[in-house]
Amino acid sequence: MAKASKKYELRLYIAGNTPRSVTALNNLKRYCEEHLKGIYEIEVIDLLVNPQLAEGDQILAIPTLVKKVPEPVRKIIGDLSNEEKVLVGLDIRPARQ
């Protein structure tokens, strides 16, 4: 279980309003409501609007979810359809051995 004191800063990089971006955002919101209620912030960055921001977070794939805080920085690429992998990626759930 995640500690309540932790705050999650999440950034979702998308490129235009593609179906894949929409799916990813919906999936993300659902997971956050379920597991991180009240301690998360989602910032959606559209690279078509701000292409210069891609370099900073080393974005290659679209969509990419970046967890800036808490450390370590993790990236989850894809439409986030696999809940298990997303939760492991966000360190909400420990990876299965």
Only one of the segments 1-9, 36-44, 84-92 lies at the binding site for another protein (rule: CB under 8 A); that segment is: 84-92
61's tokens: 């794939």
Q: Give, in degrees to the nearest 5, the angle at Cα 9 between 40 and 17.
A: 90
Q: Coil, helix or strand for 60? A: coil
Contacts for 69 with CB less than 8 Å, ≥ 6 apart: 7, 8, 9
For another protein, which is the closer residue by CB, 39 or 77?
Answer: 77
Residues 14-73 that bind another protein (CB under 8 A): 15, 20, 23-24, 47-48, 51-52, 54-55, 58-64, 72-73
Binding region for another protein (CB under 8 A): 13, 15, 20, 23-24, 47-48, 51-52, 54-55, 58-64, 72-82, 85-86, 88-89
